[in-house]
Amino acid sequence: MNTDLPLKIQPLEEYGAFMTKEKVAKALDIGVHNIPVLVRAKLLKPKGHPQRYCVKQFSRDELARNIADQTWLDKVAEAIHRHWRIKNARKRKKSGQPGENESPQED
């Protein structure tokens, strides 16, 4: 067994050289709605210079290198958690519900 190669978690050979956000989400085992979050956090970079509403293509080889990097995976998890924490806090604030650090007011 060659120990120089990183642990192969999920083979990406089934995908072509370019991957859409649906394929990237499947490879990372996350929801498709989290891919734009990772792009905004600059953890995923679409190839070329796609316009705002165009289909974005991502490099399979670049994704494979990133998946093997534990620090990159930590950043991905943190970016997703941060996004949903902020989004849920806004939702709670709008509806008047107490947040994570707030306790309900007792009269």
pLDDT in tens, 15-41: 888 999 999 999 999 999 999 999 999
Whether this model's pTM surpasses 0.85: no
Topology (CATH) of 18-95: Multidrug-efflux Transporter Regulator; Chain: A; Domain 2 (1.10.1660)
Q: What's the confidence (pLDDT) of residue 107?
A: 45
Q: Cα–Cα distance between 41 and 93 in angstroms, integer? A: 24
Q: Can you give the residue ranges of every domain in the chain?
A: 18-95
**pLDDT tens figures, 67-99:** 999 999 999 999 999 999 999 999 988 888 766
SS in 3 state form for the chain? Answer: CCCCCCCCCCCCCCCCCEECHHHHHHHHCCCHHHHHHHHHCCCCCCCCCCCCCCCCCEEHHHHHHHHCCHHHHHHHHHHHHHHHHHHHHHHHHHHCCCCCCCCCCCC
Question: What was the pLDDT predicted at 99?
Answer: 60
